[in-house]
Chain A
Amino acid sequence: MPHIQLAEGLPGIRSLFAFRPETARPLCDLADVLLHAPGTLTTGERELIAMYVSSQNDCHYCQTTHGAIAAHHLGGNDALVQAVKRDFEHAEVSAKLKALLNIASKVQRGGKQVQPEDIERARREGATDREIHDAVLIAAAFCMYNRYVDGLATWAPPEIPGYRERAAHVAEHGYLGIPQTVLAQTGG
């Protein structure tokens, strides 16, 4: 039961985008730049970072949706997404991504948890400054999104209706169209 009056039928952050369109637009723009726009880290890698941080923050809506988007980018590999969630150090991902997930896990606990050794490890595995910066910002941003979604107790049933279809759409088209889609669904 959400803490405030939200439109029914819209899960997770979508209900909040309907409630407050003014902040929805830049929040979606930010997600698009961080997760979908071209970059040296693949979209699959970036969505895995978002999924992992969301799982550490125990946010069901965010880890489910970004896990599904990551799986779509990774050719439907749900098993890999689950393996990263359970134990990324032993999952079948690159050493560079493991080092970035390590940094993300530290950011999730608190910015000051990131130590020079964590940065050095990422550099040894070939991460550029830009990639390290982006991993930190994605992890920080998801600490915001997760708190927003759960802090207002938005609706997110164990099996979120339509999440796979939406994940496929977002994986293909990105995040920019979400505010308009949400407004159309609420008749706004």
Chain B
Amino acid sequence: MKPMFLPEVEANPRPSPVTDLIRIAQSSAAEYPKIWHLFGYRPEATTHLGEFTQAIMRGDCPLSPGIRELIAAFTSHRNDCPF
């Protein structure tokens, strides 16, 4: 796995639920999506990202969650972002 640009983000000193996931993956030398480090680095910001994403992707809407995920995946694919 390649290192992220910012070592401090990757070292992630902040405790959070996602930090536990990272430690488990690291201890078993498994590959894992490094976006988990982004979510653990500034929980006070990423909490709101999570709430927003939950609201738009799972909140009341005539479009089903599956359709909404499709829109998200399509946009990301077109932005050349495989994650």
Contact = CB atoms under 8 A, between A and B. Distances in A.
Q: Determine whether A and B are in direct contact in the complex, meaning some CB atoms lie less than 8 angstroms apart.
A: yes
Interface of A: 22-23, 25-27, 29-30, 33-34, 37, 110-112, 114, 116, 119, 128-130, 132-134, 137
Interface string B39-72: 0011011001101100110011000000000000
A92 to B, nearest CB: 28
A112 B80 contact: yes
A133 B42 contact: yes
Contacts, number: 52
A22 B48 contact: no
Interface residues of B, number: 20
Contacts of B6: 119, 129, 132-133
The prevalent SS among residues of A at the interface is helix
A34 B9 CA distance: 16
Contact of A33 (B9, B44, B55, B60): B44
Contact of B52 (A26, A111, A128, A129): A26
A133 B9 contact: yes
A34 B55 CA distance: 20
Contacts of A112: 80
Contacts of B48: 26-27, 29-30, 33
B44 A30 contact: no
B12 to A, nearest CB: 11
Contacts of A22: 55, 59-60
A183 to B, nearest CB: 16
Given A114-B5, A129-B7, A34 B59 contact: no
5 contacts: A22-B59, A23-B59, A26-B55, A33-B44, A130-B42
Contact of B56 (A23, A30, A110, A114): A23
